[in-house]
Every structure is written in C-alpha cells, then in structure tokens.
Structure 1
Amino acid sequence: MSDSDVLDADLYQRTKALLEPGDIDLAGAIVHTDLSGQEDLEMHELTVELNEVIAAHAGEGEAYIYAGNDDPSFSSNQFQGLTVDDDAFVWECQQLLRNGTFDIVFYYEADLDQDALVAAIRDRGYEVTSVVLDEDDRVEVEE
C-alpha cells in the first residue's frame, strides 16, 4: 500500500466520520487541489467559487462564508456556508493540507442532487470525490 493509498483511506474515513448520522443526513465532496500551503488567496477564491456552486444546488438561496474566527469551536481552515436570509446551514468545509497540497472536504445536507453537484464541480475543472453514506451508514466513495 502506498503512502497515497494510506492518506486517501484516512481522508475517506475522516470524511465518513463527519457524515455519520446526526440531526440531519449529510453527503460530502472532497475537492482535490494542487494548491500549496502558501496559496491562501487562491484557497479563499476556490472556497468562494464552490460556495456559489453548492448553494445553487442546495436551493437555499444566496449563501455567505462564515470563518468562525470568533468562535472557539471552529478550527483553523474550517468554514461554513450560511444563508444570507436567516443564517441557516448550507455547507461546512475543512481545508486539509496533505502531502503539500490542499484537499477541501465539503459536507452538506444529503437531499440535494449529489450527482449533479459533483458534475458541476468537475465541469469547472476540479478533481472531486463524491462521498455519501448508503442505507446501512457505510461510506460510498466515487472518484
């Protein structure tokens, strides 16, 4: 097993833990980038772009990005997309630096069209992995 396989397995397990049943059913998308830890502005621009894509597919209206800088329960590189109208949850993400480049793990309510969202992200030129739970709460990963 290569280091990449181990890292991918770890990433999928961490993503699965975020999706495990709670108050709402969640699905996720891992957006793989070639952005380094030195490219903060580019990471911000990508997060803004993907906020618009996810918000459009969620059908919740316009969303803004909350960084949680004033919230001790947030970690560094963790963000939420919240509706402009009433601060309702649309998505959350964690930007994870892995092997020198970032992967962004997004999760959101599972009732949106996952295939259409993943296709829309791919249509923008990004490599994305779809992560959903099946009816037995097992993670399904689609490259």
Structure 2
Amino acid sequence: MSDADAVDTDLYQRAQALLEPGEIELVGVIVHTDLSGDQEPTLHESTLEIGNYIAEYAGIEPTDTYVYSGNDDGEFGVNQHQGLTLDDDEFVWECQQLLREGTFDVVFYYEADVDQEGLVEALREADYDAVGVEPES
C-alpha cells in the first residue's frame, strides 16, 4: 500500500500541492488523529510535540523554537501554526489543523533537508498515525 492509499487521497493530493516548488524545497507529513473538536487542548499538545520532532530532525534544538499561531493575523488561518527559531524567526515547520469528518488531520510541511523516513518512523513509534508526503516527481 502506498502512502497515498493510507490516507484520504484528496487530502494527500492537497498536501502535495502545498509542496509545489517555491523559494525552498518542502516535504511534509499528514498526521491523522482521533481527536474531535472538543479536544483542542490535546490537539495543541500533539502539534507541539510533532513540531519538536520536526525541529530535531532538522538539526534544531526544540527549545530554540517557538510556535506562532495565526489567531491575530488576517493572513493566517485560525488552525494554522508555524514553528520558528527564537534567534531569527527562521522557518522550521508550518501546519494546518483540519477538522474532517469529526476528527482532526494535521498537515505539516518543512524543508526537505530532513531525514524524512526517519522522522515519519519516529512519529509512528510515538504512536502517531503519520504518512510522509513528498512532492510529485
């Protein structure tokens, strides 16, 4: 079974579209949760933990990052967050929390210079239902 078969095909394709060539090369991961809309504090904790994994695999100490949430920014969605470095606000990761069919799927994307296989495996070992997303070839 391919990664695309493991999750909703439409969601996978939409996540791939976010990786389209831009200023930096990106890869991503989709994390399916069983968390409903009334479990947002747990979703928040999971988002932070996954962001820490991404930072580690990007070679950045998680304690050297912070999360910027778009709640007060008109150009950002309410459930859209960025992991940035403390020193210079450098991009580490971004995610969108999508409530789909009653539970959240979280799409993360980050620079492609991480060990993608290792990151996805580490997330799975931490009991996350994670599927790596690569740009279309």
Fold shared by both chains (TM-score > 0.5)? yes
Q: Following TM superposition, by how much is the alpha carbon of 1:45 offset from its aligned partner in structure 2, in angstroms?
A: 0.6
Corresponding residue for residue 75 of structure 2: 73
Write the distance in 1 (CA, Å) between the matches of 2:50 and 2:65.
Answer: 11
Q: Following TM superposition, by how much is the alpha carbon of 1:69 offset from its aligned partner in structure 2, in angstroms?
A: 2.2
Residues 1:54 and 2:54 are matched in the alignment:
yes
Report the number of matched residues.
130
Residues 1:99 and 2:106 are matched in the alignment:
no
Does the 8 Å contact 2:29/2:107 carry over to 1? yes
Q: Following TM superposition, by how much is the alpha carbon of 1:13 offset from its aligned partner in structure 2, in angstroms?
A: 1.5
Does the 8 Å contact 2:70/2:79 carry over to 1? no
Per-residue CA shift, 1:74-130, capped at 9, x if unaligned? Answer: 011000000111110000000011111101000000011100110111110111111
- Higher share of residues assigned helix: 2
1:119 maps to a residue whose letter is E
Write the distance in 2 (CA, Å) between the matches of 1:131 and 1:35.
Answer: 21
Corresponding residue for residue 122 of structure 2: 120
Which TM-score applies when normalising by structure 2?
Answer: 0.90
SS in 2 for 1:51: helix
Write the distance in 2 (CA, Å) between the matches of 1:33 and 1:11.
Answer: 14
Which TM-score applies when normalising by structure 1?
Answer: 0.86
SS in 2 for 1:55: helix
Does the 8 Å contact 1:29/1:131 carry over to 2? yes
How many percent identity over aligned positions?
59
SS in 2 for 1:102: strand
Corresponding residue for residue 21 of structure 2: 21
1:94 maps to a residue whose letter is Q
Q: Following TM superposition, by how much is the alpha carbon of 1:72 offset from its aligned partner in structure 2, in angstroms?
A: 0.9
Corresponding residue for residue 41 of structure 1: 41
Write the distance in 2 (CA, Å) between the matches of 1:44 and 1:130.
Answer: 20
Per-residue CA shift, 1:23-68, capped at 9, x if unaligned? Answer: 0000000011000011010011101111111111111332111002
Corresponding residue for residue 134 of structure 2: 132
Give ranges in structure 2 of 5+ residues lacking alignment.
none
Give ranges in structure 1 of 5+ residues lacking alignment.
139-143
4+ residue runs of structure 1 moved beyond 6 angstroms?
A: none
